[in-house]
């Protein structure tokens, strides 16, 4: 560990006894420390706020604001400062209590120069080690993010640059992108790059929560709030306190509840269902959607003011077809992962297979690629070569699947519609099975059918 010289450390000495202040100043400066002085806790707090020192060395008993009060005030600051308490022999128990409240250590009067030097050395060594550990964790988290977000295309690198930039803030992020592009992975990466990385990261799939349970899921409820509320429960906002909350498919939150969500985001407080007691919460919000949010605002199915509150930092995750150069790296990553997961021998793709997979449109994006790769590894069994029939066992390939042509002459929207309708026909209109084959959610499938004017089609 690289050690700093004592001249880089500033110590604030706080004591109402002028003799002790001057003695400590002379002693510590003689050891190479920078020293500032304050005669009581109020003066000390003013100096700490103006220019934080590296350490506060404070007497316990002082007029106006004593050492314990100063300690509590320092702990409330955005950048807390280390505190060592100076106390008389008769108040050692109080000093021990101060350590429980966050003081690093205490010195008992009368003390020797050796004692002071020993305490300071231990504090700064541990503090430097703590900072080095934090830096190491940040670098590891950054490396983890880069490992999870596989690819080197300019489109992906642009996403990673935004992740690095916004990760260090608490600004709300609104991520748009097609189903299967990895929006949840981007949200997780932002959390891991933030100062909240060691705090909770909770994810709520808004599309999967029944409308009558959405408010309780978000904010919790008290016992007896409604039929079946047998006990008081926490909502996901309360569970995520101090950390990050991902509202996945936030566009599926009912309009009637959007006003309360907006108020919670503005005030950072909420009430449980059936209660009038406000609960303060500190949560960073990340939202995702695969819907056309502008159209939803025009249709009055999503509040414009809520969108502006969530959309402080907008992000768009590109579909896989727009970063096809990442397909070989993704395939290599997923093949290695699933071979290891299923204890399969190392497998490779032929150049022809890879060429076909690169040309395929991947309407389900990275999720579809991952699912097909898992299937390919399983279907290939002991073989060390992966072929097209392993990825598309029903006879489909990069140009056709299920009798559909994926060549030129059609828009992506038309091709997507063909794929959805053909898959529904193939599954006997079983939407659950069709959604699984298409690597999309049932909710997304229903929304697609609604846009085609076919939402009334029979489903299973």
What pLDDT digit, counting tens, does each position of 92-103 carry? Answer: 677 677 777 788
pLDDT reading at 8 higher than 90: no
Please state, in angstroms and rounded to a whole number, the distance separating the CA atoms of residues 1 and 68. Answer: 33
Beta strands in 214-263 (DSSP E): 220-221, 233-234, 244-248
Q: What pLDDT is stored for residue 410 in this prediction?
A: 47
In the beta sheet, which residues pair with residue 287? Answer: 174, 247
pLDDT reading at 399 higher than 50: no
pLDDT band at 150 (very low <50, low <70, confident <90, very high): confident
Task: Give phi and psi for 287, each to the nearest 5.
Answer: -120, 150
pLDDT reading at 168 higher than 50: yes
Please state, in angstroms and rounded to a whole number, the distance separating the CA atoms of residues 92 and 444. Answer: 65
Please state, in angstroms and rounded to a whole number, the distance separating the CA atoms of residues 432 and 454. Answer: 16
Peptide bond into 110 cis (omega under 30): yes
Q: What pLDDT is stored for residue 162 in this prediction?
A: 92
Mean pLDDT of 374-385: 88
pLDDT reading at 404 higher than 70: no
Q: What pLDDT is stored for residue 166 in this prediction?
A: 92
Q: What DSSP assignment string belongs to 408-447?
A: SSS-HHHHHHHHHHHHHHHTTS-HHHHHHHHTS-HHHHHH
Average model confidence (pLDDT) for the chain? 85
Q: 268 near 309, Cβ under 8 Å? A: no
Least-confidence region, from 75-79, 132-136, 252-256: 132-136
Distances (CA, A) of 430 to 207, 276, 425: 19, 44, 8
Q: What pLDDT is stored for residue 5 in this prediction?
A: 55
For the stretch 341-366, pLDDT in tens is 888 899 999 888 999 999 898 989 99
β-pairing verdict for 400-401 and 404-405: antiparallel
pLDDT reading at 400 higher than 50: no
Q: What pLDDT is stored for residue 439 in this prediction?
A: 76
For the stretch 416-456, pLDDT in tens is 777 788 778 777 788 887 887 777 888 888 888 888 777 65
Q: What angle do CA 275, 281, 287 make, to 5 degrees?
A: 105
pLDDT band at 6 (very low <50, low <70, confident <90, very high): low
The domains of the chain, with CATH numbers, are 6-132 (3.40.50.2300), 149-316 (3.40.50.300), 320-407 (1.10.8.60), 410-460 (1.10.10.60)
Q: What percent of the chain has pLDDT over 70?
A: 87
H/E stretch holding 203: strand 201-205
Q: Which residue has the higher pLDDT, 77 or 201?
A: 201
Mean pLDDT of 53-80: 87
CA atoms within 13 A on the CB side of 351: 0
Please state, in angstroms and rounded to a whole number, the distance separating the CA atoms of residues 1 and 135. Answer: 12
Residue 335: both structure tokens together:
């093949």
pLDDT band at 176 (very low <50, low <70, confident <90, very high): very high
CA 23 to chain centroid, in Å, comes to: 49
pLDDT reading at 31 higher than 60: yes
pLDDT reading at 142 higher than 70: no
């Amino acid at each position: 560990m690289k050690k700093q010289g004592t001249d880089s450390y500033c110590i604030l000495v706080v004591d109402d006894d002028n003799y002790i202040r001057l003695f400590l100043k002379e002693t510590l400066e003689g050891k190479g420390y920078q020293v500032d002085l304050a005669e009581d806790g109020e003066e000390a707090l003013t100096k700490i706020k103006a220019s934080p020192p590296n350490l506060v060395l404070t007497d316990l008993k002082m007029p106006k604001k004593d050492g314990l009060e100063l300690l509590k005030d320092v702990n409330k600051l955005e950048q807390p400062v280390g505190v060592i308490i100076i106390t008389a022999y008769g108040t050692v128990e109080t000093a021990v209590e101060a350590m429980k409240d966050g003081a690093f250590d205490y010195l008992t009067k009368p003390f020797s120069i050796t004692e002071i030097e020993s305490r300071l050395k231990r504090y700064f060594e541990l503090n430097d080690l703590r900072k080095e550990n934090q830096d190491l964790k940040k670098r590891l988290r950054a490396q983890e993010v880069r490992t999870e977000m596989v690819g080197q295309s300019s489109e992906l690198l642009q996403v990673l640059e935004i992740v690095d930039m916004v990760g260090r803030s608490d600004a709300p992020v609104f991520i748009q992108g097609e189903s299967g592009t990895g929006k949840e992975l981007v949200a997780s990466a932002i959390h891991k790059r933030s100062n909240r990385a060691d705090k909770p990261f909770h994810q709520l799939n808004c599309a999967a929560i029944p409308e009558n349970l959405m408010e309780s899921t978000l904010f919790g409820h008290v016992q007896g709030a409604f039929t079946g509320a047998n006990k008081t429960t926490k909502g996901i906002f309360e569970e995520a306190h101090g950390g990050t909350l991902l509202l996945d498919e936030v566009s599926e939150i009912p309009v009637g509840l959007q006003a309360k969500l907006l108020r919670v985001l503005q005030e950072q407080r909420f009430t449980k269902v059936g209660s009038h007691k406000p609960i303060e919460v500190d949560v960073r919000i990340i939202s995702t959607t695969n819907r056309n949010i502008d159209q939803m605002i025009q249709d009055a199915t999503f509040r414009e003011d809520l969108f502006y509150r969530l959309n402080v930092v907008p992000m768009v995750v590109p579909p896989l077809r727009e970063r096809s150069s990442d397909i070989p790296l993704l395939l290599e990553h997923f093949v290695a992962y699933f071979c290891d997961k299923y204890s399969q021998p190392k497998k490779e793709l032929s150049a022809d297979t890879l060429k076909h997979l690169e040309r395929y449109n991947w309407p389900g994006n990275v999720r579809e690629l991952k699912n097909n790769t898992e299937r390919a590894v399983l279907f290939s069994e002991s073989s060390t070569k992966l072929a097209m029939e392993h990825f598309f066992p029903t006879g489909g390939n990069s140009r056709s699947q299920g009798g559909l042509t994926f060549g030129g002459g059609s828009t992506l929207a038309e091709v997507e519609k063909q794929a959805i309708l053909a898959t529904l026909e193939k599954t006997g209109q079983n939407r659950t099975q069709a959604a699984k084959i298409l690597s999309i959610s049932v909710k997304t499938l229903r929304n697609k059918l609604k846009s085609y004017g076919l939402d009334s089609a029979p489903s299973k």
